[in-house]
């Protein structure tokens, strides 16, 4: 288990960002697990919603390039 990744998210944060962004939790999970890419507009929305929910928001570039991101919010290697 990668504890560093688990420590990034607090209970309910992923659910809240998904809801505020207008996507399902499963869609959001696929983004975090690098199974689904993100377009520019969605990346901007996700950055804005992460700014509302998280202490340290996830920058738009990290969402946009989630498949190669080293940000601790994302699961799995590139």
pLDDT tens per residue across span 24-33: 999 999 999 9
Q: Whole-angstrom Cα distance, residue 42 to residue 64?
A: 8
Domain chopping of the chain, boundaries: 12-64
Half-sphere exposure (CA, 13 Å, Cβ side) for 4?
A: 6
Question: Backbone phi, then psi, for 22, in 5-degree steps?
Answer: 75, 30
pLDDT score at 3: 44
Model confidence, pTM: 0.87
For residues 15-33, one letter each, b for 16 or more C-beta atoms within 10 angstroms of the residue's C-beta and e for the rest, the string is eebbeebebeeeebeebbe
pLDDT tens per residue across span 35-70: 999 999 999 999 999 999 998 999 999 999 999 999
């Amino acid at each position: 288990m990668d504890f560093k990744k688990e420590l990034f998210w607090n209970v309910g944060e992923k659910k809240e960002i998904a809801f505020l962004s207008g996507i399902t939790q499963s869609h959001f999970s696929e983004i975090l697990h690098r199974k689904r890419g993100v377009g520019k507009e969605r990346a901007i929305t996700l950055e804005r919603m992460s700014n509302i929910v998280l202490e340290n928001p996830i920058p738009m570039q990290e969402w946009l390039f989630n498949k190669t991101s080293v940000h601790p919010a994302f699961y799995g290697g590139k």
